[in-house]
Amino acid sequence: MTFWLRHITRQRSAWLLLGLSAVFLEVCALLFQHVLGLRPCLMCIYERLVVIGLLGSSLIALIDPAKSLWRWGGLILWGLSIYRGLQLSLRHVDYLLHPSPFNSCSFFPDFPAWLPLDIWFPWWFKPLAECSERQWNLWGWELPQWLVLIFSVYLIVWIVIVAANLLTHKYLAE
């Protein structure tokens, strides 16, 4: 099983699947905003950036997944992105479930001065709502709670893939 998992990370199709899942999540976010009329908050915007990090990790690995440099570059960015995404979505759930004036997000993104995404692409990166605002739910779960689940699944898959790559590498080296 570990050899198979290591083998699929060397295939472009696995990284293409990761990239397509990230594109799907971004398209869903934009549909929620521009078709369903949900207004994104600051945490939503940051969570979108995490998904762009996922897309970036797949693009890095797609360069040549058979080479360790590109594969591990993709794996590292994938892990960092998902770890940050899980942190953000858990904090977002906290804002949502425990609203108070002392537990809320800002209305202003903290983008670097050289990369003002909210000014360059306001239709995509401008926060328009408060993080504790409830706008949509499915089966009793709000959108940030679904993101916790989604990012957790990505993290579990990442852990299994990294473990398989490390274990088979150690086994092959002996």
Which pair of structure tokens corresponds to residue 41? Answer: 């908050």
With beta carbons less than 8 A apart as the criterion, state whether 1 and 164 touch: yes
Among residues 48, 71, 84, 91, the one annotated as catalytic is 48
Token match 């521009």: residue? 34
Catalytic one of 41, 71, 84, 134:
41
> Catalytic residue at 28?
no
Q: What one-character-per-residue DSSP string does 55-102 give?
A: HHHHHHHHH-TTSHHHHHHHHHHHHHHHHHHHHHHHHHHHHHHS-BTT
Give yes or no for a contact between 52 and 60, defined as CB atoms under 8 angstroms apart. Answer: no
- b vs e for 68-106, b when ≥16 Cβ sit within 10 Å of the residue's Cβ? eebbebbbebbbebbebbbebbebbbebbeeeeeeeebe
From the number of C-beta atoms within 10 Å of its C-beta (0-12, 13-18, 19+), residue 34 rates as exposed
Question: Which of 44, 84, 91, 134 is labelled catalytic?
Answer: 44
* Residue of 10, 91, 131, 134 marked active site: 131
For the annotated catalytic residues, the residue numbers are 41, 44, 48, 105, 131
